[in-house]
């Protein structure tokens, strides 16, 4: 097992190296001079030369890439141009917020989608099935950014139930933090529900057609027990 993991990790090294080269090249192809952006229009030539040497932009591109890669491997992502703070702590600070939103939204979407997909598969080709598939398709078709804007307009600006912008850590005020998180989580949940419901329905239909489900029904097992004990574990088990 450890050998397999080691081989898989070794296979990712060329991919990561290619991604690093691509990112470095794309950044260098962006028009404009980063030194002039950081110093502004009032900087003189000596200030520009000093900052260029400090950032290593006066070296050849291969040397710039090697220095950048070395700092990247040590966790040094440089400093933000906006507030001159280290980039890595800023990323970690914002990653905590994104992680909470994604984890809660995916968990909620999975619970809703599994139940909806299972019921839709059980009532295949019925009005309930068509309604579930229609809603899932609609949610799948709506762009996430547009759905988020609609929720902001409705619940933030029109009804004024939830805040539109800002963030409060859970450590300071749990309920205010939850209020700020609710709209992003709801948006992501609705988008994920559309995708997962269709997958859950297809997997459940496949299991419902198997012989052991027919055998269980022939033995007189209650339908809710067939769905809960035979269909649900096998439809959503790892494959």
Q: Which residue has the tokens 């968990």?
A: 107
Specify the pLDDT at position 185.
Answer: 93
**CB burial of residue 108 (10 Å; 0-12, 13-18, 19+):** middle
CA contacts within 13 A on the Cβ side of 9: 6
Q: How confident is the model at residue 237 (pLDDT cuts 50, 70, 90)?
A: low
- Which stretches of 56-173 are DSSP H helices? 61-73, 87-122, 127-141, 144-151
CA contacts within 13 A on the Cβ side of 114: 15
CA contacts within 13 A on the Cβ side of 196: 19
DSSP character at residue 128:
H
In angstroms, the CA 143 to CA 149 distance is 10
Full-model pTM: 0.70
Specify the pLDDT at position 117.
Answer: 92
Specify the pLDDT at position 85.
Answer: 81
Specify the pLDDT at position 130.
Answer: 92
In angstroms, the CA 213 to CA 120 distance is 17
- Domain edges within the chain: 2-84, 90-235
Q: What is the pLDDT of the chain when averaged over all its residues?
A: 84
**CB burial of residue 87 (10 Å; 0-12, 13-18, 19+):** middle
Asked whether the predicted pLDDT for residue 1 surpasses 70, the reply is no
Task: Confirm if 154 and 161 have CB atoms less than 8 A apart.
Answer: no
Specify the pLDDT at position 97.
Answer: 85
Residues 6+ apart with CB under 8 A from 38: 51, 81
Q: Mind listing the pLDDT tens digit for each residue in 141-179?
A: 888 889 888 998 988 888 888 888 878 888 888 888 888
Q: Mind listing the pLDDT tens digit for each residue in 19-69?
A: 888 888 888 888 877 777 777 777 777 877 887 787 777 788 888 888 888
In angstroms, the CA 226 to CA 208 distance is 9
């Amino acid at each position: 097992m450890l050998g397999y993991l080691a081989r898989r990790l070794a296979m990712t090294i060329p991919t990561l190296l290619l991604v690093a080269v691509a990112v470095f090249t794309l950044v260098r192809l962006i028009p404009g001079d980063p030194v002039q952006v950081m110093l502004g229009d009032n900087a003189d030539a000596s200030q520009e030369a000093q900052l260029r040497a400090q950032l290593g932009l006066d070296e050849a591109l291969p040397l710039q890439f090697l220095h950048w890669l070395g700092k990247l491997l040590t966790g040094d992502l440089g400093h933000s141009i906006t507030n001159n703070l280290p980039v890595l702590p800023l990323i970690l600070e914002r990653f905590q917020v994104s992680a909470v939103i994604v984890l809660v939204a995916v968990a909620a979407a999975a619970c809703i989608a599994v139940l909806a997909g299972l019921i839709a598969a059980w009532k295949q080709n019925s009005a309930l099935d068509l309604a579930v598939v229609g809603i899932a398709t609609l949610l799948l078709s709506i762009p996430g950014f547009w759905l988020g804007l609609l929720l902001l307009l409705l619940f933030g600006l029109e009804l004024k139930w939830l805040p539109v912008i800002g963030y409060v850590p859970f450590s300071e005020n749990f309920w205010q933090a939850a209020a700020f998180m609710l709209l992003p989580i709801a948006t992501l949940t609705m988008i994920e529900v559309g995708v997962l419901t269709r997958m859950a329905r297809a997997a459940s239909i496949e299991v419902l057609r198997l012989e052991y489900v027919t055998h269980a029904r022939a033995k007189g097992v209650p339908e809710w027990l067939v769905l809960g004990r035979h269909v649900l574990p096998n439809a959503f088990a790892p494959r």
